[in-house]
A = this chain, B = another copy of it.
Amino acid sequence: MDGRDTDIGSRLRRLREARGISLSALARSAGIGKATLSGLELGTRNPTLETLYSVAGALGVPLTALVLEPGAPPAEAVRVPGAAVTATLLEVFEEPTATFELLRMHVRPGVVQHSPPHAPGVTEHVTVYAGVLRAGPVDAPLVAGPGEHISWQADVPHIYSTVGPDEVLATLLIRSPRPA
Chain A residues proximal to chain B, CB less than 8 Å: 1, 4-5, 8, 11, 14-15, 17-20, 46-50, 52-53, 60-65, 67-70, 72, 76, 78, 87, 89-95, 97-102, 104, 116-119, 122-123, 125, 127, 129-130, 146-147, 149, 151, 169, 171, 173-176, 178-179
Contact = CB atoms under 8 A, between A and B. Distances in A.
A119 B173 contact: no
**Tally of this chain's copies:** 2
18 contacts: A15-B92, A18-B99, A20-B116, A47-B49, A48-B49, A49-B52, A60-B87, A61-B89, A62-B89, A63-B68, A63-B69, A64-B67, A64-B72, A93-B169, A95-B169, A98-B146, A149-B149, A171-B171
B49 A65 contact: no
Nearest to A48: B46
Given A62-B68, A64-B68, 4 more contacts: A67-B67, A70-B94, A95-B146, A125-B147
Given A53-B4, A76-B62, A95-B129, A18 B147 contact: no
Given A17-B179, A20-B118, A147-B175, A93 B8 contact: no
Nearest to A102: B171
A29 to B, nearest CB: 12
